[in-house]
Amino acid sequence: MTDQVDENRFIMEAWGAQMELRAIQRRNRSATQKTQAAGRPKGKPSYGFQYVWTVMGGKIDHVALHPHASTVIRTVARRILADPEDITPSSEAARLSRVGERSPTDHLAVMYGKPASGHPWQTTSLKNILFSEAALGYLMHQGRPVIDWDGNPVRLCEGLWERPTHEALRWALIPRRTPWIGRRTNRDYLLTELALCGQCHNRLYTQTSQDQPPRYVCTARNKGWLSAKECRPAPLIRAHLLDAYVEEWFLQRFGDGMIFETVYDEGNGVAELRASRERLRADRETGLYDASDDAVWFREKYAAMGHELADLALEPERTAGMVRRPRGETVQDRWDKALDVQARKEILMDFGVRVTLYPNAAPLRWVAGLVHGPERDPAGVA
């Protein structure tokens, strides 16, 4: 930069690069605006959707639900809505990774003929899928739906669920403290965090060694916990024995019972129209329709939405909410269909099963069952 000629050449080259960058940005904006005006998507499809081409290498003809991915994410939403206290995005991400479902990144790679990298499901990406309005089938731009001339979001295809389900998911995914976190683990133990010590009432842990099979044991006193200073002797049992006892008791008591699922009924669609009208009103309040011609358009569309809501109000109202219906299978069927130990552990958690284990020297015997106190053995033997 000490030479004047070199300095002028550098400035000219930098100016040319700046002009080329602005031209590229302008072309990208124009292409985005053109595709939005035509109601066509741009970029990668959201999880659960796929692009359909009628001509190889041509433009996207339409958007459709992916037959497998849409089923996967709908199952996740149904499970969270049925039990938002115990089933969380973290537990669902662990479950999907455990059963071998491809993550959104790997699913997109395989869908376009590339090899999967084996990435596990991430809690953040799963929450983003559930939170995004792209799941409603809308055309999205910068995280928000694209609005047409009628004031409604541009819909590309059938959504994964409707607006009431979307709002229910947003409420269910509010961060809250969950009492049991056993669903998040990937270890092959049936009763971790479900088995408690009858002496000190702390949870049992598993121990493994080369010459002994895994076992459930209370280690609270060895760790120096004050709540377990009187826990002597500590209960201990081989894991496969306790698992077999609990499985036998559970299936004998509940195996023949019919399973009911709790699902979300979306109602008669009033919530979707009301959300569109509220979005239109919010845009008006921010000053988007201050021009005279825009003001006329706003009044017409807002009045049309109001009339449509009034017509829907004359029909029998069916409010959105949770309903219970039979699934046509028994607890035994669900237990037999479970893919792994963690899936069976979720069944025990759904039924509120807790196991309290007492040492053999105590005049009490362990009880595998619903939450209740221990039963004393008349003979004083465990």
pTM equals 0.56
Residue 365 scores a pLDDT above 70: no
From the centroid of its chain, how far is CA 48?
13
* Whole-angstrom Cα Rg for the chain: 29
- Mean pLDDT across the stretch 343-359? 86
- Mean pLDDT across the stretch 355-360? 86
Of residues 187 and 139, the one with the higher pLDDT is: 139
> Cis (ω within 30 of 0) for the bond into 214?
no
Residue 378 confidence class, pLDDT cut points 50, 70, 90: very low
Residue 374 scores a pLDDT above 80: no
pLDDT for 167: 87
Tracing tokens 């998040």 back to the chain, one arrives at 184
Torsions phi, psi for 337 (to 5 deg): -85, -10
Question: Beta strand 367-370 with 353-357: parallel, antiparallel or unpaired?
Answer: antiparallel
* Lowest-confidence pick of 2-16, 66-80, 138-152, 233-247: 138-152
pLDDT for 380: 31
- Mean pLDDT across the stretch 339-366? 79
pLDDT for 39: 60
Question: Beta strand 49-52 with 353-357: parallel, antiparallel or unpaired?
Answer: unpaired
pLDDT for 106: 92
pLDDT in tens, 27-75: 877 776 666 666 666 778 889 998 888 777 777 778 889 999 999 999 9
The strand pairing partners of 155, in sequence order, are 138
Residue 305 scores a pLDDT above 70: yes
Of residues 363 and 253, the one with the higher pLDDT is: 253
Tracing tokens 């940005």 back to the chain, one arrives at 25
Spatial distance between the Cα atoms of 204 and 355, rounded to a whole number of angstroms: 10
Half-sphere exposure of 330 (CA within 13 A, CB side): 11
Residue 364 scores a pLDDT above 60: no
The sign of the dihedral angle between the CA atoms of 286, 290, 291, 295 is positive
Spatial distance between the Cα atoms of 157 and 51, rounded to a whole number of angstroms: 11
* Mean pLDDT computed over every residue of the chain: 80
Nearest to 85 by CA among 353, 342, 352, 330: 352
pLDDT in tens, 193-221: 888 988 888 888 888 888 888 899 988 88
- Mean pLDDT across the stretch 253-270? 76
Residue 316 scores a pLDDT above 70: no
Nearest to 158 by CA among 139, 141, 136, 143: 136
Residue 223 scores a pLDDT above 60: yes
Kindly tell me the number of DSSP H helices and DSSP E strands found in the chain.
11, 14
* Lowest-confidence pick of 24-38, 159-173, 248-262: 24-38
Whether residue 100 contacts residue 120, with contact meaning beta carbons closer than 8 Å, is answered with no
Spatial distance between the Cα atoms of 17 and 4, rounded to a whole number of angstroms: 20
pLDDT for 38: 61
- Mean pLDDT across the stretch 103-109? 91
Q: Is 179 exposed, middle or buried (0-12, 13-18, 19+ CB in 10 A)?
A: exposed
Whether residue 47 contacts residue 70, with contact meaning beta carbons closer than 8 Å, is answered with no
pLDDT for 382: 30
- What are the start-end ranges of the E strands in the chain? 49-52, 62-65, 140-141, 144-145, 195-197, 205-207, 215-217, 236-238, 258-265, 321-330, 353-357, 364-365, 367-370, 375-376
pLDDT for 267: 66
Residue 371 confidence class, pLDDT cut points 50, 70, 90: very low
Nearest to 205 by CA among 196, 216, 213: 216
Greatest Cα pair distance in the chain: 105
**For residue 181, what are the CA distances in angstroms to 150, 178, 301?**
46, 7, 48
The strand pairing partners of 65, in sequence order, are 49
pLDDT for 377: 40
Spatial distance between the Cα atoms of 12 and 15, rounded to a whole number of angstroms: 5
Spatial distance between the Cα atoms of 151 and 138, rounded to a whole number of angstroms: 13
- Mean pLDDT across the stretch 310-327? 72
pLDDT for 74: 92
